[in-house]
Amino acid sequence: MNFIRQIERMQILNKLIKEQRTGTPNELAERLGVSRRQLYTYIDYLKDLGLDVWFSRKQNSFVYNDDEEIQLDLKIRVLGKTDVSKINGGKILKDFLPCFFYARTENKLVI
């Protein structure tokens, strides 16, 4: 569930930055329930994705440059028997593209 909480934090962070109402870094970190250092880790992650994020003292908020943003969607649902039967996880390709692994033990080739 920690992964889901991180997705939720990123969604809230994205929304607040887009609306330019994050407040100070300390206020935003408290709102997200993370430390200030962890907040900057999230900001750095956004920058790694190619977004230009910076803090505007004039607006007292983190902002995106040029109205950039990300879209994060998480969908969780219970699968019925018909849905589960449609998921093959590569089972169909097993016979089409067989894989063989070889290992050498001393002087023998083991298949």
Q: What is the pLDDT of residues 77-92, one digit of tens each?
A: 888 888 777 776 655 5
Which pLDDT score is estimated for 65?
Answer: 87
The verdict on pTM exceeding 0.75 is no
Top-confidence residue, 60 or 1: 60
Q: What is the pLDDT of residues 19-34, one digit of tens each?
A: 999 999 999 999 999 9
Which helix (H) or strand (E) element contains residue 73? none
Domains of the chain: 2-67 (1.10.10.10), 81-110 (no CATH)
Tell the burial category of 62 from Cβ atoms under 10 Å away from its Cβ (0-12, 13-18, 19+): buried
